[in-house]
Amino acid sequence: MNTVRAQEIIHPVIEITNRSFAIVTDGSTFEKCQKELISYRDRVESEGLPTLILHHDWKNPEQLKKELQKLYKIFKIEGVVFIGEIPIPMVLKAQHLTNVSTAIPSDRFYDDFELTFDFLEQSKTDPQLYFYNLGANSPNRIKSTIYSARIKPIISSEKNGDKYEQIRAYLDKVVKVRQEKNLIDQIMSYVAFESLSSWSSQSLFLEEQFPLVSKTSTQFQNFKDDKHRALQDEVVNQFRREDLDIAIIHQYPLSDVAAIQPNVALTIFADNPTGNFSESAYNAGQFILGTGNALVALAHTVQPSSHQHATYLMGTLGAGLNIGQWLKLNNTLESHLFGDPTFTFSIHTPDTLSKFIHEKDNKKLIDVLSKAKSPEAQSFLLNQLFMNNYGGLAKLITQHYDNSQYATVRYTCIHIADRLEGEVRAALFAKGIKDADESIRLEVINAIARIGDPAFIPALIDAYMENQHAEEVLYAIKMALYAFNKDLIKNIAEHRFMVADNFSDNTKEKERFYENQFTGLYIEIDKNIFDTNVVNQKKGITDLRTIRYHPSVTRYLEFVRNSKINVDLRIAMLESLSCFRDSYRKAEIAAACKELMVDTRHSKRLRDEARRTLNNIN
């Protein structure tokens, strides 16, 4: 495969010491936008980040990925922005990493060097799209090596103008806006449908992460629709403000993005798939490439699956991290930045964190942590210690959870405990499910559903009784209990409701709990799976990706082993079982997969899928 020629790399003007950044574009875009690309490079370098420009007519994603790996090794690139016509990887067989089983446009192909992919085909209708399966032996977690972003022009109608003009105008805008120093002191948050208690919890997070927004009543505009009024028009007006730094949008359908003309520096679309850049007229692109001064958008290419808090570690943006460095800490398969990833807000805290983004010395991190004043600095440093596999982390997060007055720090401790597993997870979950902050309670409940250990059932039922005021928590508990045996839930609930002291009529409340819990879409998963109707079977097997019904793992493994069952259904079951990687029964699934892999009585397709599932859950 041809490699990029030396004359297609423009080297930085300033010397590279410990890091650099890469602008990657195609040959035509470089030719048409060379002046603006150089100006953008100069602007980034003026803030101390050496920047290369790489231009080439890319044959396929593999060619580009190899060049990025070379740049990482030789020039220590920490991130990249793709500008113009850059091949788009479409990823399949990654249902354990996301919310869907369809092909997902994802630049994790480029920025996570440890992931592996198997090429399938190039699209016959859109030559920019290349389809891959996630490799059967690929790591089963996202851990991006570098950060990435896209500046991809909109091609939908004449009103969008020439694609090169869109890029030139955007880069000119970036150069102009970045000359201004910008503190994060103006934030807007909007949610269309959410309970008051959950909305309040999100507000608390933002106030802890960005203390400057609490100075006056107008610096933090936090909007929520209710049955009496819808605030979409007001949100559009907020987008047009010239002083707005960050906007966080939940559940907001953008019908006419071009008409908004937003000026906000960074917008986070937390829930909707507005970032599907495989489409020619994707909303996130229209948002940043319009006539306003909007610079960067974080959006998803499909409906996001992660329950992780939308603003996790976001306060680091006020402590020296650029937007790409922050998102790299939170990447999912479907999350993407659109615009300039090197944009950096002014520092508003004595805890400057950018110098520690690549720090591997745990002793140094612990020393800095002991002196850190801001909650976000504490959270960031704990997260860095987790990334470095620090051996004493279980003790450290327990201490911080027990002693911190900050919800954001306690959330970080719970989030890390979930990934550490073992005794520390059980101990902190027992505390976290009763935490004063709703986001923390939700994090624990959602994790319990993924784990499925019946030992957690009493805590879930207690949480149901203690959270009658919290609509989002009650819904999460209902979804979590779908993952457990119905009779076991009843046996535990009988005793729990008998001794409850927070209801006037315990029997009536118990029956209401049963009526609510034992109805709904997912109560019949097994009935569908073991039906004789193939359509029902497919639905039930697919539902296992949303509700991991742990009690029937033995039956599911028997299903996979049964050669009398259609092989496509058995493979679909293995695909769904790959989503059980956090299940307390994953060892049984792993053992069955090892058995299936070597049993030549089964088809090669099924044996290969067993190998893939084994890797996904380990």
Instruction: Express each pLDDT in 121-137 by its tens digit.
Output: 999 999 999 999 999 89
pLDDT band per the 50, 70, 90 thresholds, residue 158: low
Residue of 190, 178, 167, 197 whose CA lies nearest to 285: 167
For residue 90, the model assigns a pLDDT of 97
Whether the per-residue pLDDT at 202 is higher than 50: the answer is yes
Q: What number is the average pLDDT over the span 5-13?
A: 89
Q: Which two tokens stand for residue 512?
A: 């209401």
Please compute the mean of the pLDDT values over residues 220-247 and round it to a whole number.
Answer: 83
Instruction: Using pLDDT thresholds of 50, 70 and 90, give the confidence band for residue 231.
Output: confident
Band the pLDDT of 307: cuts 50, 70, 90: low
Q: What is the pLDDT of residues 472-496, one digit of tens each?
A: 999 999 999 999 999 999 999 999 9
pLDDT averaged over every residue in the chain:
92
Q: Which residues of 201-222 are buried (b: 16+ CB within 10 A; e: fewer)?
A: bbebbbbbbbbbbeeeeebbbb
Task: Name the least confident of 127-141, 151-165, 230-244.
Answer: 151-165
User: What is the pLDDT averaged over residues 366-370?
Assistant: 97
388 C-beta neighbours (distance < 10 Å), count: 14
Give CA–CA dist 425/444, Å, rounded. 10
Distance CA 269, CA 251 (A): 8
Residue 306 has pLDDT above 90, yes or no: no
- Render pLDDT for 164-173 as a digit per residue (tens, 0 to 9): 999 999 999 9
Give residue 1's pLDDT.
47
- Give pTM, 2 decimals: 0.93
Structure-token pair, residue 219:
């610096």
So what's the pLDDT on residue 524? 84
For the cut 70, the answer to whether the pLDDT of residue 157 exceeds it is: no
In this predicted structure, the answer to whether residue 216 has a pLDDT above a threshold of 90 is no
Over residues 401-416, mean pLDDT: 97
> 520's torsion region: left (phi>0), alpha (psi -120 to 50) or beta?
left
With a cut of 50, say whether residue 416 has pLDDT above it. yes
> Please, which residues bridge with residue 443 across strands?
none
Q: Please compute the mean of the pLDDT values over residues 271-277 and round it to a whole number.
A: 90
Would you state the pLDDT for residue 233? 82
DSSP bridge pairs for 407: none
Percent of the chain clearing pLDDT 90 (strictly above)? 78
pLDDT at 253 > cutoff 70: no
pLDDT band at 201 (very low <50, low <70, confident <90, very high): confident
Q: Residues 68, 3: contact at Cβ < 8 Å? A: no
Summarised one tens digit per residue, pLDDT across range 426-468 is 999 999 999 999 999 999 999 999 999 999 999 999 999 999 9
Residue 93's identity, in one-letter code, is K
Bridge partners (DSSP) listed for residue 119: 132
**Mean pLDDT over residues 227-250, rounded?**
84
Region 194-218: mean pLDDT is: 82
